[in-house]
Structure 1
Amino acid sequence: MALKALIVLVSCLLLSSCSDSVHTGADYQYAIPEGFPKPPEPADNPMSAEKVELGRWLFYDTALSVNQTTSCASCHDQQHAFAEPKVFSVGATGQPLKRNALALVNVGYNGSFTWAHNGLQSIEQQLLIPMFSENPIELGMTGAEQDIIYRLDDRHYQTMFDAAFGDSDINMQRINQALASFVRSLTSFDSAFDDYAYRYQDDALDGLAVAGMELFFSERLECFHCHGGFNFTQSSRHQLQQLDLKPFHNTGLYNIDGKGAYPLQDRGLIDITLEPDDMGKFRAPTLRNIAVTAPYMHDGSLATLEQVVDFYSAGGRAEGVNNPFKSEFVKGFVLSEEERQALLAFLQSLTDEKFLTNPQFSNPHQVVSQRYVDSAD
């Protein structure tokens, strides 16, 4: 129990309580354990159940793309923790994106967004990229705003916008705010690890997973330095932690010139800051539901969790091991085969099956379509 208490202390980040319940905000109930801080909300976009539901409909609606072929869910699939099992996603016009799609898990707690950008302060700001970016095109809304609004201007959406915002006016700002509200609602705290650590169910993890947890939180492996806190990422912001704790790291994935360079098409944070020391730095994503979000790394170049463990065990990949910008925490380590399987078992224990199947997060258009088919039969 002493180890378990230590794990809970590290992952809770000084939270006052970790028993299971629903946290009640001023106007919206987050499905989070009691004592956990709620995700921060912009003053001009407070959460509401009506706004979240509208955002869910929009998230799955291909009408938001320039050619009505692509929705947010096209690259963020619920069964994969709102990631996508592709190396690179493809935009509405067929243009490949340059990075692997990040999972949308507890995004409301993020202190930074996308793989390598330190200037985005909210989900609302981040969403402007897939909505309006032109190179590469994702949804391709730029120049198509009025067409998209026209497509949504029916009785169903008018009613939902009225419930969410107080009138039925449909505009891009409200579309953005509703989408952000839905994404902010995507909380995941029902894994076997959560049962063990926060609900005190000692049998929730078997001996192998517990051994893997010990390794994960050990100074020998150093995993928790970049994937710490209750969201298993140092990129976090909430009522008890207002600042990111070194969210961007160079993990030694590349070193193409022997001087630390990453491929020109994506050099990481340096492309935003222009600071030489930011070469190859990318955000450490949450490890919650990590087992279902393959492939891994910003470029999807590692296909399995086994490869990820082997990568960190080696202290990087090929010449990347000697990358001069590599994080001090990526030192490499030696694992026995039993220890390797234990670490993998712990990572598997972070999967939240309820999150992957929660009907409140699912495609509402499919439900309506199925009801129509059933009624026709």
Structure 2
Amino acid sequence: MTQQLRISATLQFTGQRIKRFTIVAVAALLTSCTEAPPAPYVWKLPADFPKPTVPADNPMSEAKVELGRFLFYDQQLSGNGQQSCASCHQQANAFSEPKTGSVGSTGELHRRNALALVNIAYNKTLTWAHDGLTDIEHQLLIPMFGEQPVELGITGHEDKVLQALAREPYPKLFKAAFGDEQVDFQRVTQSLASFVRSLLSLQSPFDRYAYQGDDSALSQQQINGMNLFFSERLECHHCHGGFNFTQSTSHEKQPLDRRPFHNTGLYFTDRQQVEGQGYPDKDRGLAEVTLNPADDGRFRAPTLRNIALSAPYMHDGSIATLPEVLQFYIEGGRNTAAGPYQGDGRRHPQKSAFVKGIDLTPEEQTALLAFLHSLTDPTFVQNPAFADPWR
């Protein structure tokens, strides 16, 4: 009614320019008032699954996710134009990479391998060992601007990167996501975080069996392996439990602030035992953040979803295959017989009580590995919505 009165009043003016201007302006106002508000983001989840928690200052939207996808695969997001996020997080490998340690855009070798980006929206903590990184927006600043080590290497090249992000098709993507074409790093990180949150993997054979009622989705061998996995005899589920197969899980129905980290007995170097620690100086895990010797060698247990696609394993990629990982837990840790890390990790005083060694027959080992393969989600690694849009 208010707009109608304004139009009627305007038409009584004799100045044609004033009438034309006012009518056009009011028509634009009417059009904007009738535009539908942005549709809420629809999480692609099985029935009754909890939604991930999302920061209030960065709500999800399809437009932001799509902009983030372009940014994720864009090598111009690096300071020298040589690397993208996808260089180390490859879809075919469940957004990890088949390297012991990642290599940054300047060729610098990193001490850790790239974690798989699987259901990161549900993670309570991020990276291998940091109890203070709890949202993706802040974690992204490390690969983008970190200098020790250099990953994307944007620091010192900020203007160059922002200029590259002004080319096509970015103007329309930024406008769709934020209402105008302005490019800045806050919007870049918000969009990247939105895309990473969208990387959900919940369509494995295990999911069809456990959550969709398809009794034929798992073989009897896989079911036997599943029963072993969740048994108190093996105790795998204590560190890799819940629907996301990791303790470090948070969602709308999970109010507990759980930030667990574990020492699995990977190292106990002879040289460093006398110094009150057992992990190599190059990576002591959570202890580097907390400065607490009790956190020596403690790392976050990653999800086991798509674990068969994300070799090599452990924080330093020092175990090459999934059968070797199983053998490591059968032995209750690792005894390094020679070399700079010589020592018996099984004797580390901070080793988790759940890593105590287990006795498995060959048939049980095969069944357990078969179950772990049932956590592979082919639709996740083939989903075109997650793929490189620049191709």
TM-score using structure 2 length = 0.86
- The structure that has the greater radius of gyration is 2
CA deviation string 1:122-143 (max 9, x = no partner): 0111111100100100000111
**Superposition deviation, residue 334 in structure 1:** 0.5
**Superposition deviation, residue 117 in structure 1:** 0.3
Identity, in percent, stands at: 60
Aligned counterparts of 1:245 and 1:47: Cα–Cα separation in 2: 24
Aligned length: 342
Equivalent residues of 2:128, 2:299 under 8 A apart: yes
> Equivalent residue of 1:131, what SS?
helix
Which residue in the other structure is 1:331 paired with?
356
> Equivalent residue of 2:169, what SS?
helix
**Superposition deviation, residue 156 in structure 1:** 1.5
| Amino acid of the structure 2 residue aligned with 1:321 | R
The more displaced of 48-57 and 233-242 is: 233-242
Aligned counterparts of 1:133 and 1:271: Cα–Cα separation in 2: 17
Which residue in the other structure is 2:29 paired with?
none
Matches within 5 A, 1:77-88: 77-88=90-101
Which residue in the other structure is 1:271 paired with?
288
1:293 aligns to 2:318 (yes or no): no
Any gaps of 5 or more consecutive residues in structure 1?
1-24, 367-377
CA RMSD of aligned residues (A): 1.2
Question: Aligned match of 1:303 in 315, 320, 332?
Answer: 320
Which residue in the other structure is 1:350 paired with?
375
Aligned counterparts of 1:298 and 1:276: Cα–Cα separation in 2: 19
1:33 aligns to 2:46 (yes or no): yes
Equivalent residues of 1:254, 1:260 under 8 A apart: no
Which residue in the other structure is 2:339 paired with?
none
**Superposition deviation, residue 240 in structure 1:** 1.6
Which residue in the other structure is 1:45 paired with?
58
Moved over 4 A (4+): none
Equivalent residues of 1:234, 1:244 under 8 A apart: no
Aligned counterparts of 1:196 and 1:83: Cα–Cα separation in 2: 26
| Amino acid of the structure 1 residue aligned with 2:212 | R
**Superposition deviation, residue 91 in structure 1:** 0.3
Aligned counterparts of 1:291 and 1:312: Cα–Cα separation in 2: 16
Aligned counterparts of 1:312 and 1:334: Cα–Cα separation in 2: 10
1:122 aligns to 2:135 (yes or no): yes
Question: Aligned match of 2:126 in 100, 113, 116?
Answer: 113
Aligned counterparts of 1:146 and 1:27: Cα–Cα separation in 2: 33
1:222 aligns to 2:235 (yes or no): yes
Q: Measured at CA, do residues 174 and 246 of structure 1 come closer, stay the same or move farther in structure 2, by a change above 3 Å?
A: closer
Which residue in the other structure is 1:237 paired with?
250
Question: Aligned match of 2:73 in 25, 44, 60?
Answer: 60
Which residue in the other structure is 2:159 paired with?
146
**Superposition deviation, residue 154 in structure 1:** 2.1
Which residue in the other structure is 1:69 paired with?
82
1:361 aligns to 2:386 (yes or no): yes
Question: Aligned match of 1:101 in 111, 114, 119?
Answer: 114
Aligned counterparts of 1:345 and 1:174: Cα–Cα separation in 2: 42
1:250 aligns to 2:263 (yes or no): yes
Aligned counterparts of 2:320 and 2:237: Cα–Cα separation in 1: 22
Equivalent residues of 2:91, 2:381 under 8 A apart: yes
Aligned counterparts of 1:179 and 1:246: Cα–Cα separation in 2: 24
Any gaps of 5 or more consecutive residues in structure 2?
1-37, 336-343
Equivalent residues of 2:69, 2:388 under 8 A apart: yes
Which residue in the other structure is 1:193 paired with?
206
Aligned counterparts of 1:69 and 1:242: Cα–Cα separation in 2: 41
The more displaced of 270-279 and 32-41 is: 32-41
**Superposition deviation, residue 241 in structure 1:** 1.4
| Amino acid of the structure 2 residue aligned with 1:342 | A
